[in-house]
Amino acid sequence: MGEHVVLFNEDGSRTDGRGLDELRPIRIKVGVLSNAQGSAYIEQGKNKILAAVYGPKEALPKHISLPDRCILRCRYHMAPFSTTERKSPAPSRREIELSMVLRNALEPLVMTSLFPRTVIDIFIEVLQADGGTRCAGLTAAVLALADAGIPLRGLAAACAVGKADGKVIVDLNDLEDKYGEADMPIAYNPTLDGITLLQMDGIMSKEEVEQALSLAITATQKMHKMQVDALRERFSVQRRET
Show the DSSP H helices in 10-121 as ranges.
93-106
* β-strands 26-30, 38-44 pairing: antiparallel
Amino acid identity for residue 26 in this structure? I
Show the DSSP H helices in 39-197 as ranges.
93-106, 133-147, 174-179
What is the smallest separation between the CB atom of 174 and ligand ADP, expressed in angstroms?
4
Closest residue by Cα to residue 155 from 167, 166, 140: 140
What is the smallest separation between the CB atom of 165 and ligand ADP, expressed in angstroms?
18
Q: Which is nearer to ligand ADP, 107 or 174 (CB)?
A: 174
What is the smallest separation between the CB atom of 69 and ligand ADP, expressed in angstroms?
28
Contact between residue 227 and residue 144 where contact means Cβ atoms under 8 Å apart: no
What is the smallest separation between the CB atom of 236 and ligand ADP, expressed in angstroms?
32
Torsion angle defined by CA atoms of residues 204, 200, 112 and 99, in that order, rounded to the nearest 10 degrees: 160
CA distance 56 to 58: 7
Q: Which is nearer to ligand ADP, 148 or 204 (CB)?
A: 204
Q: Which is nearer to ligand ADP, 99 or 133 (CB)?
A: 133
Contact between residue 45 and residue 24 where contact means Cβ atoms under 8 Å apart: yes
Q: Which is nearer to ligand ADP, 59 or 182 (CB)?
A: 182
What is the smallest separation between the CB atom of 177 and ligand ADP, expressed in angstroms?
5
Q: Which residues bind ligand ADP (CB under 6 A)?
A: 83, 87, 94, 129-134, 174, 177
Q: Which is nearer to ligand ADP, 55 or 131 (CB)?
A: 131
